[in-house]
Structure 1
């Protein structure tokens, strides 16, 4: 999906000397152990220290020495060593100071200058949707209708007796406008219902059998918050359903079993720890049957290896009365590694479907998009969720949608009083600058996807500019503006929309905001919004912990916190900006337990 990044020389040329130094493209002198790091400054390991004859305290189980330990604590301290006892960090400091925690049974690892970071946090990732990649048609690698057809036919050949055919991964740029047509799928199989979700999860490509199963005809009205795309000449359903219209088919076809979801979640966990991800939020509870039950069973069976702080999806056809059921779910799902603490709200759609809700109409059609919730119902539901102690986790792409979402949070505050709610808004593709101050005032958190911070081929020129106009397209995906105003910004992948969710890749994109292999400085996406390396690391660690109300146990390397950490083979602050995604995770610990070790890490 993404190409190789441009060279460090290009990135440096586009910055002032100090800015280039801050982005890690220029190497500086080592910091002394115990020094603090100003955001963006380079770090280097201290020299290995000889063991001192010191009295041993209660021994640690594990001690890592002679590393570049970037704590991401309040002062962004840089240390050399970490000591772990049980599931907690008991010491962070110099290698010499760590000697007092080394006993006869302590496992001691000399890091030889490798980097240690807190475990990465992905604050919005559809972990459970890995299930679809295992048990349905995977279209993510295709880039044309012809390639999708070949993939579908190959799947049918291997699975000839499926009662329905489901899949995901086709991309809107291959069929802009009304989307891909039903006739293409009818030629493959006109009798078996076929339903294929787009890569962004906001559109559904179906054949005539699926339309018939759902009773969708020329006379079927668009459901509230949804669009049935139609042939411009005949008015017949063309084969693409947007937003709430998707449910007309999906409810008929059904979903995956609990066992299938468990398999998908377990596979996701393995992908996550290989990338250093130790805490996530999956926002899809209740939107699909059996997902919540799958998590619950895995928790009871002690098969969860990373921390999940998930969200239940509110139904826009219901109101505040549904919050009582969410409270019961939260009370039931109180496991160390699995809890439900947020309510997901789909406020609008996406730009590529012309369903993101905008202040001004789209350039290519006379619409402002789709507001999925009625404003009064959203406000009351938001207030009820807030009163019950839930965080709001609001999908909002358009500037008008974000303003309405903030209005609802302000309404909740007036009803219930100000408190440490940390309601979050996710995606934030377009934001009115005047609303950034409101984030700070309301204590709201922005959750962004830096993987998307670029002028991506197939999207920027073919969809974003034609649909939004050049001026709006150039202002997409603000981040630094939020940080400058003191707003907490947490990063995420929105996997499986982003198939490769390595946080190191996301960190690189947040710093460079340019597509892999691109050498034209004019192709930097909204360059004023480039974040520093320190900003980006914080967004995937301590700010992610803050966004999920777990900063008391994770997100930084400090005594008393859970031992969630990753070891990298290189120091990010001396790595060229366009090479950050190539840095390797050697070891991942969750609460002191080794959940991943690379072969390279074993050899070293």
Structure 2
């Protein structure tokens, strides 16, 4: 048995015991065995000690909604996320194409949709850089792609292509495609002809992605979009010991082919269970109910302010959605529902009511993710239905996307209903936090700061955006820890620091509860432990071994 003692700092209090601010914690063989004075009495027997140097030891962070495979794969293409103009993106694509002459396709992500008027990008701009090979770039939201003319030709998209049922082909005045495609119905026309990534590329991407998560203090991730042909990559990564965090897979329910999916999802779940890896589970099915506000594909109860004839693009017919949700629920899958617009949120709640009516009551913990706009009349329904409200707190500020695209779509009055984190918390709803990485950054500390201040990194607006929806630090920490543990049905295994729990830990340089709100985003991660095993450690934070392990 290896005994590790964490000391000389503040240990996060366990809400179940009310013990406030203990100063030590003991871990043996991956499990917490003592907290506070009981841990200090074991110090002389320790094989390892960790001097917290006045810092804060917390349950590790967890991400309730993310896309680690997509995030890892971004490293394999042109690096366009940091580009601040269309010209910079085009130059990055040009340079990458020249450096990779054998690449059949140039595939990258994630460009800033605010860099072109109305978020619409022209194929001709990419043609100037790469005229002969297909180019596919995903926008930061992953609901839109920008392609060149060679990619349009490869997919057979032209002026005669009919508008897809579950997508939009943005067109010029003459009907020819501009080069911007929105939502799966249109995007999949191009993805169907791309060469894809090798198994090793995908496994390496998962290894890279989970290493980034470990460095950010996270040990559990809800992968919220898994296609069956990628399951092998997760299995291989787990079997080869290349995952640096736990991952739960959510298989994407397809509005068109969902009736053919239950057998495949069950088979994939069995494969994961048979591997019996402590780092991989597959208990969830993901539904995209709508798109995003910025492309006017989020489903709204009333039309967009800047498009009076457009209320968005629902991905499911009501009867089909209810049948699909009830089917996957009956098979024991947790339901995870993407809902951005207020109509999509209502659609999700109505669907969950129907599932309960058909399948009876049980501990489902369904998740509705993003929740950008909620009709106030629907807020009480979350607690009534036992919904976990998953927010991506980095979005809850008046950044460029919000000011230039979102608010003009919604109008000022409806814009004030966005991301009601405090309202749902006050209504007794279980809230969890996530990142939606690579849509936005994976690091939880900036998200923590945004949830508390409702400000951008440069602290705008002064006083916070929609300040009535700010929450305190303790509530935000809980959403990143015990809130996600509840979502994961793991509240008895991790998410709190008490004896018997897995030693999933993050060491912060400062106690975030004592840091001024405007300085929260600068709090550093000093170390991360997954079941007692260090997965990341700051170079200046050594673990000491007071005596040889062989002496035990």
Alpha-carbon shift at residue 132 of structure 1 (Å):
2.4
2:478 corresponds, among 504, 523, 538, to 538
2:458 corresponds, among 517, 521, 526, to 517
Encode CA deviations 1:371-418: one digit per residue, 9 max, x unaligned: 011211111110011111111111111000010011111111111111
Encode CA deviations 1:230-262: one digit per residue, 9 max, x unaligned: 11x211111110002100001111321110011
Alpha-carbon shift at residue 228 of structure 1 (Å):
0.4
Alpha-carbon shift at residue 320 of structure 1 (Å):
4.2
**1:491 match:** 433
- Residue 192 of structure 1 pairs with residue 94 of structure 2: no
Alpha-carbon shift at residue 321 of structure 1 (Å):
4.4
- Residue 454 of structure 1 pairs with residue 393 of structure 2: no
Contact 1:71-1:118 within 8 A present in 2 as well: no
**1:464 match:** 406
1:92 corresponds, among 26, 35, 39, to 35
Return closer, same or farther for 1:321/1:437 CA change in 2, 3 Å cut-off. Answer: farther
**1:252 match:** 193
Contact 1:72-1:538 within 8 A present in 2 as well: no
**1:237 match:** 177
Alpha-carbon shift at residue 520 of structure 1 (Å):
4.5
Contact 1:319-1:380 within 8 A present in 2 as well: no
Contact 1:129-1:496 within 8 A present in 2 as well: yes
**2:326 match:** 383
Contact 1:514-1:525 within 8 A present in 2 as well: yes
Alpha-carbon shift at residue 602 of structure 1 (Å):
2.6
Return closer, same or farther for 1:172/1:178 CA change in 2, 3 Å cut-off. Answer: closer
**2:547 match:** none
Encode CA deviations 1:127-148: one digit per residue, 9 max, x unaligned: 1113322211221001211111
Where structure 2 has 5 or more consecutive residues not aligned to the other structure, the ranges are 545-552
Return closer, same or farther for 1:475/1:483 CA change in 2, 3 Å cut-off. Answer: same
1:332 corresponds, among 271, 278, 291, to 271
Name the SS for the 1:344 alignment partner. Answer: strand
**2:497 match:** 557
TM-score (norm: length of structure 2): 0.94
2:166 corresponds, among 203, 225, 238, to 225
**1:592 match:** 532
Relative to structure 2, which stretch is displaced further, 501-510 or 129-138? 129-138
Relative to structure 2, which stretch is displaced further, 72-81 or 196-205? 72-81
**2:240 match:** 301
RMSD over aligned Cα atoms: 1.7
Alpha-carbon shift at residue 318 of structure 1 (Å):
1.9
2:368 corresponds, among 401, 405, 425, to 425
- Residue 368 of structure 1 pairs with residue 311 of structure 2: yes
**2:115 match:** 174
Contact 2:375-2:417 within 8 A present in 1 as well: no
Alpha-carbon shift at residue 305 of structure 1 (Å):
2.4
Give the number of aligned pairs. Answer: 538
**2:548 match:** none
Alpha-carbon shift at residue 92 of structure 1 (Å):
1.5
Return closer, same or farther for 1:502/1:241 CA change in 2, 3 Å cut-off. Answer: same
Alpha-carbon shift at residue 475 of structure 1 (Å):
2.0
Encode CA deviations 1:288-317: one digit per residue, 9 max, x unaligned: x4x321110111122222111121111111
- Residue 149 of structure 1 pairs with residue 90 of structure 2: yes
Structure-to-structure mapping, 1:277-356, within 5 angstroms = 277-286=218-227, 289=229, 291-334=230-273, 335-356=277-298
Name the SS for the 1:121 alignment partner. Answer: strand
Name the SS for the 2:249 alignment partner. Answer: strand
Name the SS for the 1:557 alignment partner. Answer: coil
